[in-house]
Structure 1
Amino acid sequence: MSEGVVTDASQQKVSGKVVSIPVTPSIGNESKAGRPGRHWLMAGIAALLVAGIASATWWMSAKRSAVHYVTAQVTRGPVTRTVAATGTVNPELTIIVGSYVSGVIQEIYCDYNTRVKKGEVCAKIDPRPYETLVAQAKANLSVGKAQLQKDQANLAYTRINHERNAQMVVTHAVSQDVADQARNAYEQAQAQIVFDQGTIQQQEAALDSAQVNLDYTNIVSPVDGTVVSRSVTMGQTVAASFQTPTLFLIASDLKMMEVDTNVSESDIGGLKEGNAASFTVDAFPQRTFNGTISQLRQSPQTVQNVVTFDVVVSVDNSSLALQPGMTAATRLIIDSRSDVIRVPSQALRYGQGGQVAGAAPQGAPQSWKQLWLLRDGKPVASPVEAGLDDDAFTEIVAGDVKPGDQVILAEQRQASAGTLPPPRL
């Protein structure tokens, strides 16, 4: 460097000497050497911002969901509204055969599944105590009849004596007192005859009662049927003092059965006598038995504050497949439609665009619902009038819907990750 020339350095060489001169920095005189480092710093920050924005844009695009609709086809078929209940299979008429008298079972002639005829003897109680009572009643009746004959003879004598004294008192052959005594004896004899006749009637009634008790020692079937239960064994003593013991249960006809079901009070209002019903039993899970509601018994049963009513379903059991006591899973039909346009009930519970699911269209009756159809890949609202609903399908009474249309049940959003390429940094 030449002498006397001032440079950017803080030192100056004068006359062969180096002199230090302080230099005050200023903005206008900022050194050009420091600017390249700052420029690269700002460029790096800008690149990072661009990369971040690109990454966020790619991530948002990757997470953006594609809407897919779950649809079902409008069909034509039956819609049946039912009430489910559990019941028990029983014969239509079950006869309880008991014992009117007490005693020891001497013989048993019927057992389970025995076919019996009306009047057939099923069991026999030891008759000897009752035979003794019959004999005693007969003897008392004989004594009463003999006493009547005796008193009838006395009545004949007193009548003759009374008539004779009545004639003699006219001629003063006897006193009036004697005539009065004869008349009194005659009237007592007449009363004695009436008393004897009443006594004989009592003795005849006692004999009839003893004979009835003797006859009841034969336990007979009152109907034609089948023995379904036997509760007594030979040699057992039955006591009929306070309550008639049950010896046999006889079903009158096992070809006609009934199912006794319990239906809650909330469902009983829709049921009527004559409505159809069906049920299954565990013994035949693949077979459906059909019947008819024959009775709606107005006798509520309350168990733990739950009120139920007994509904009786009659069913033909000509095949004898059903047995008494089977548990039946019953479907009682409230109402039914056949061959109608129907949609899944879930379709009427779908809403779109902020609309309340299942709500009626604006200005339409409550029976009208908003149904969403998928046409050309887009959801289209279609107001329809809903009819019978069986929880699975709903009848469409009116509306622009026909079999084959696709109704929207729900929508699914599937992430379209990977549809956009990641940003290049």
Structure 2
Amino acid sequence: MQFQRSAVITAVGLSAVALTLAACGQGKGGAGGMGMGGPTEVGYIVAQTQTVGLTTELSGRTSAFLVSDVRPQVSGVIKSRLFQEGSYVRAGQSLYQIDPATYQASVNSAAAALAQAQATATAAKLKADRYKTLVETGAVSKQDNDDAQAAALQGAAGVAVQKAALDNARINLNYTKVAAPISGRIGKSSVTPGALVTASQANALATVQDLSKVYVDLTQTSAELLKLRQQFASGKLGRTNSAQVTLKLEDGSTYPTPGTLEFSDVTVDAGTGSVTLRAVFPNPNGVLLPGMYVRASLTQGVASGGILIPQTAVSRDPKGAATVTLVGAKGPEPRPITLGQTVGDKWLVTSGLNAGDKVIVEGLQKVRPGAPIKAVPAGAAPAAQAQR
């Protein structure tokens, strides 16, 4: 009985294996399948020329639109600080108060000197007027009259000198109130009340930065710039009228507001071999801060007859040269091409392809040289899509 049971199990197992092999054979050789003798189904796209904007991505740093250091213009002791660190200040707003006592005294002294000069000048003028009349009648000598006229002029000059001295004293008094030179955000204060400051000292009391707009300084190698100019000169690229720049932040997010390219520097940095490009971005919400590392994308040229193909359609030969496979009259046809830059998920083909060429983009890994293929428009080859 045991021998009969083993024989039955063996027979059942052999039958199952036979059924499996038969099913596999039907799957490979069935109608409509991808059998060994049938053509390989592939999907293709038709190469078309179009106007392509060539976008360059450059790295750079942000900087404030306006920066101004706050420094005292007169010497003295700081009596009080009139702002909160990190707050927004307006141009002309008082930030520090320097002890004004000595400068007020200078103003009072200059005002008194002016009053004295004016009194002297008035007396000299009256005498000169009298002598001018008396000299005509011979009551005074001509020399005395000349002296009186000169004294009147000296008196008037003395008044002008004292007025200038008073103006200077008042200016110095006003400088005891250290004002904000520009509007913007003010940083931390480097001094506290009681500190002695001097006119035009090297260390700034604080720094004010206007962040309503932000500069982004980008760097591009001089070699890339020369290549771009050569392409413009040869007619391969056309110049673009767009000066807009988009920005990608350190966390990978895209800044919502585009900027404007302001200028390209005319000097190559001898240390890095690069040229600086400057863009301006509006910064109404204060998202951009000075010193941030960013990447900017800008369109520097336009290829009027460019051909774009998916990156998946491009393969490399053993030497690293780019090739694509076309749908030829006798089957798959390899074609060497020259690539430019990437545009999104596509390559820009600069040479090797013509408008109307059918480029295989689906089922490419199953294509064999000399093997028959069945070419259909990309997206209409389910079997090829399943094997991508």
> Aligning the two structures, in what range does the TM-score lie when normalised by the shorter sequence?
0.5 to 0.7
Structure 2: how far apart are the matches of 1:395 and 1:83?
A: 13
Shift in CA distance, 163/372, structure 1 to aligned 2, threshold 3 Å: same
Give the Cα–Cα distance (whole angstroms) in 2 for the partners of residues 75 and 231 of structure 1: 67
The reply on whether 1:342 has 2:309 as its aligned counterpart is: yes
State which structure, 1 or 2, has the greater radius of gyration over its C-alpha atoms: 1
Residue correspondence of structure 1 range 249-398 to structure 2 within 5 A? 249-252=207-210, 254-268=211-225, 270=228, 274-282=242-250, 284-289=251-256, 291-298=258-265, 300=267, 302-304=269-271, 306-335=272-301, 341-344=308-311, 347=314, 350=317, 357=321, 371-373=324-326, 379-382=332-335, 389-390=341-342, 393-396=346-349, 398=354
Query: 1:219-234, aligned counterparts within 5 Å?
Result: 219-234=178-193
> 1:298 corresponds to which letter in structure 2?
D
Q: Deviations over 1:288-346 (max 9, x none)?
A: 55533432243536353x33332222223333322222222333332468996424399
8 Å contact from structure 2 (residues 260, 281) kept in 1: no
Deviations 1:26-83 (A, max 9, x none): xxxxxxxxxxxxxxxxxxxxxxxxxxxxxxxxxxxxxxxxxxxxx9986999976444
With normalisation by structure 1, the TM-score equals 0.60
Q: Does 1:104 align with 2:63?
A: no
Choose which of 167, 171, 186 in structure 1 pairs with 2:145: 186
SS in 2 for 1:321: coil
Separation in structure 2 between the aligned mates of residue 227 and residue 185 of structure 1, nearest angstrom: 65
Q: Which residue of 2 aligns with 1:401?
A: 357
Instruction: Confirm or deny that 1:95 pairs with 2:68.
Output: yes
Deviation at 1:187, TM superposition (A): 1.3
Contact 1:277 1:290 in 2 (8 A): no
Contact kept, 8 Å, 2:240 with 2:299, in 1: the verdict is no
* 2:108 is the alignment partner of 1:135: yes
Distance 1:231 1:73 in 2: 68
Give how far 1:144 is off: 0.9
Distance (Å, rounded) in 1 between the aligned partners of 2:241 and 2:117: 61
Give CA-to-partner distance per residue, 1:346-367, whole Å, 9 cap, x none. Answer: 9386489xxx946xxxxxxxxx
Secondary structure in 2 aligned to 1:131? Answer: helix
Give, as a single letter, the amino acid of the residue that structure 2 aligns with 1:320.
G
Instruction: Assess if the C-alpha contact under 8 Å between 2:245 and 2:261 holds in 1.
Output: no
CA distance in 2, matches of 1:155, 1:407: 113
CA contact 1:301–1:307 (8 Å) conserved in 2: yes
TM-score by length of 2: 0.65
Deviation for aligned residue 1:117: 2.8
Distance in 2 between residues matched to 1:184 and 1:105, nearest whole Å: 57
Return the offset for 1:90. 2.4
Corresponding residue for residue 4 of structure 1: none
**Deviation of residue 134 (structure 1)?**
1.5
How far apart are the structure 1 equivalents of 2:241 and 2:171?
A: 43
The residue type paired with residue 163 of structure 2 is E
Cα displacement (A) at 1:268: 3.8
Cα distance between partner residues in 1 of 2:214 and 2:273: 26
Per the alignment, residue 135 of structure 2 pairs with 162
Q: 3-state SS of the aligned residue for 1:246?
A: coil
Deviations 1:86-144 (A, max 9, x none): 32222322333332222222211123321223332111122122222212211221221
| Other structure's SS at 2:193 match | coil
Q: What's the % identity of the aligned pairs? A: 20
SS at match of 2:220: strand
* 1:124 corresponds to 2:102: no
Aligned CA distance change for structure 1 residues 260 and 343 (closer, same or farther; 3 Å): same
- 2:205 is paired with a residue whose SS is strand
1:347–1:407 CA contact under 8 A, matched in 2: no
Task: Name the CA shift for 1:126/1:237 in 2 (closer, same or farther; >3 Å).
Answer: same
Secondary structure at the counterpart of residue 138 of structure 1: helix
Cα separation, partners in 2 of 1:199 and 1:274, compared to 1, 3 Å? farther
For residue 281 of structure 2, what is the amino acid of its counterpart?
V
Report the alpha carbon displacement of residue 236 of structure 1 after superposing the two structures with TM: 2.5
- 2:164 pairs with 1:205: yes
Tell me the SS of whatever aligns to 1:390.
strand
SS at match of 1:201: helix
What are the ranges of 5 or more consecutive residues in structure 2 without an aligned counterpart?
Answer: 1-41, 229-238, 369-388
Q: Secondary structure at the match of 1:342?
A: strand
Q: Distance between the aligned counterparts of 1:272 and 1:249, measured in 2?
A: 39
Give the unaligned 5+ runs of structure 1.
1-70, 167-178, 359-369, 413-425
Q: 1:204 to 1:143 in 2, by over 3 A?
A: same
Q: Are residue 218 (structure 1) and residue 177 (structure 2) matched?
A: yes
2:234 aligns with none
